[in-house]
Amino acid sequence: MRLCTFRVKNFKQFEDIKLDLTKSRNFHFNTNAMTPDRQMVKTGLIYGRNNSGKSNLGRAIMDIRQHLSMNPIDLGNDGFFLNANSKIPYATFSYTFAYQKCRVVYTYKKDRHGALLYESLTVDDHLVCLVNRLSDTPVLEIPGKEAYGFASLQWDGFKESTISIIRYIVFNSPLAKDNVLVQLIAFVGGMLMLTRFDRGSEYRGRNPVYKQAMVYILQSGADKFNAFLRLAGVQEEVVVKKDVTGDDALFFRYEYEDLPVETVGSSGMFALTLLYALLQNLDKASFVFIDESDAFYHFELSRFVFSQLKEKKAQCLMTTHNLNLLTNNVTRPDACFIITKEGIASLTERLGKELHEGHNLEKMYVANEFGAK
């Protein structure tokens, strides 16, 4: 399953914004930034001014985990996610997925308290299930119950609850593993969000092995982490030793005294610890949103990170201000997006004319040829 498009209305600063990952072009370079069939973006970059909505776009995309995952996550929305310029009392989220040549659309509406007011699921424009709690009398429609294996499911009291209809069906019906509802739950369970790599930050989404990357490194061993650090251009070596409390901890190895990473490590070092744990577990992920991942990176390290992401199977979107990545040597115009208050679109969409491998995307961006300013 792959995410094709995402649309959200009345969420934070977004009155209505749509991200379309399917508008690919026939470029013959950096094909690993696209899905194997080259029909949609697999690894993309998102640029935009400060406060343009990059982080909130990630929070909106990841919101689906609040309702379909067994492990809801804190996205920092804290009850203030509705657009303050609108009187509409709910936000609308709509996801389009590709699964086995089918077009799967999941839509829901939620109020400021996070309660689901509406849900629908269609497959190739055929309604599978729908619940509408927007009126005084809730409405339930399940025309897909026979085709999708939940005909015997009992619905007593469901309409009056706020549980997701998708979760209710999947966890109360003996469905096959390849059932589209089961696959949707599995995809959402594999969605990750990693915010800016500051000290103390954690994964938002699937916990790769442990919540904190440092704990993961301690459990998996320092040798592999040292090999990764060398690939990233870091020559310092780390070892596992007991700290003053008697617990295992990472230490920088020096000639006369080993120093604790937790105490003396730079912001860049903490970024690398989180990045390492993420990369080691991306094979378990379906979709990854990384927000300002390279805030503490040297430009060569940013390129290294992006190259690693392109080799993984998971879809990945990465927000950045790093223009050293905005080159056809690293990516391609249909996999780079610019977000503004008017919306989000790829470079190819924003320019409106043909782009070639020889174009200098960075200079064009700085010159505002994509209309991003």
Over 80: is that where the pLDDT of 239 sits? Answer: yes
Q: Could you give the percent of the chain with pLDDT greater than 70?
A: 91
Q: Are 99 and 1 in contact (CB under 8 A)?
A: yes
pLDDT of residue 355: 87
Over 80: is that where the pLDDT of 18 sits? Answer: yes
Distance from the Cα of residue 199 to its chain's centroid: 21
pLDDT of residue 338: 95
Distance CA 37, CA 42 (A): 10
Over 50: is that where the pLDDT of 126 sits? Answer: yes
Number of C-alpha atoms within 13 angstroms, CB side, residue 200? Answer: 1
pLDDT of residue 200: 41
Over 70: is that where the pLDDT of 293 sits? Answer: no
Res. 116 pLDDT band, cuts 50 70 90 = very high
pLDDT, one tens digit per residue, over 161-204 is 888 999 999 999 999 999 999 999 999 999 988 876 543 444 44
Where is pLDDT greater, at 195 or 249?
249
- 48-57, 150-159, 206-215: which range is least confident on average? 206-215
Which among 30-39, 88-97, 135-144, 216-225 has the top mean pLDDT? 88-97
Where is pLDDT greater, at 306 or 47?
47
* Torsion region of 315: left, alpha or beta (phi above 0 gives left; psi -120 to 50 gives alpha): beta
What's the mean pLDDT in 309-314?
A: 89
3 state SS of 263 = helix
pLDDT of residue 342: 86
Q: Are 260 and 251 in contact (CB under 8 A)?
A: yes
pLDDT of residue 348: 92
What predicted TM-score, i.e. pTM, was given to this entire model? 0.88
Number of C-alpha atoms within 13 angstroms, CB side, residue 167? Answer: 17
Average model confidence (pLDDT) for the chain?
87
Where is pLDDT greater, at 271 or 236?
236
Over 70: is that where the pLDDT of 151 sits? Answer: yes
Distance CA 197, CA 319 (A): 13
- In 3-state terms, the chain is what percent helix, strand and coil (to 5)? 25, 25, 45
Phi, psi of 340 (to 5 degrees): -135, 180
What's the mean pLDDT in 114-119?
A: 92
Q: Are 302 and 322 in contact (CB under 8 A)?
A: yes
Q: Which two tokens stand for residue 175?
A: 């469905």
Distance CA 219, CA 221 (A): 6
Paired residues of 98 in beta bridges:
2, 103
Q: Are 201 and 195 in contact (CB under 8 A)?
A: yes
Residue with tokens 């995402």: 6
**Residue-range domains of the chain with CATH:** 2-199+284-366 (3.40.50.300), 209-274 (no CATH)
pLDDT of residue 76: 64
pLDDT of residue 199: 37
For residue 362, give every residue at least 6 positions away whose Cβ sits within 8 Å of its Cβ, in sequence order, or none: 323, 324, 326, 327
pLDDT of residue 124: 97
Over 60: is that where the pLDDT of 329 sits? Answer: yes
For residue 329, give every residue at least 6 positions away whose Cβ sits within 8 Å of its Cβ, in sequence order, or none: none
Res. 208 pLDDT band, cuts 50 70 90 = very low
CA 209, 215, 221 angle in degrees (round to 5)? Answer: 90
3 state SS of 66 = helix
Q: Which two tokens stand for residue 293?
A: 């991942």
Distance CA 61, CA 95 (A): 8
Q: Which two tokens stand for residue 45?
A: 């970059």
Distance CA 332, CA 348 (A): 9
In the chain the first and final C-alpha atoms are separated, in Å, by 35
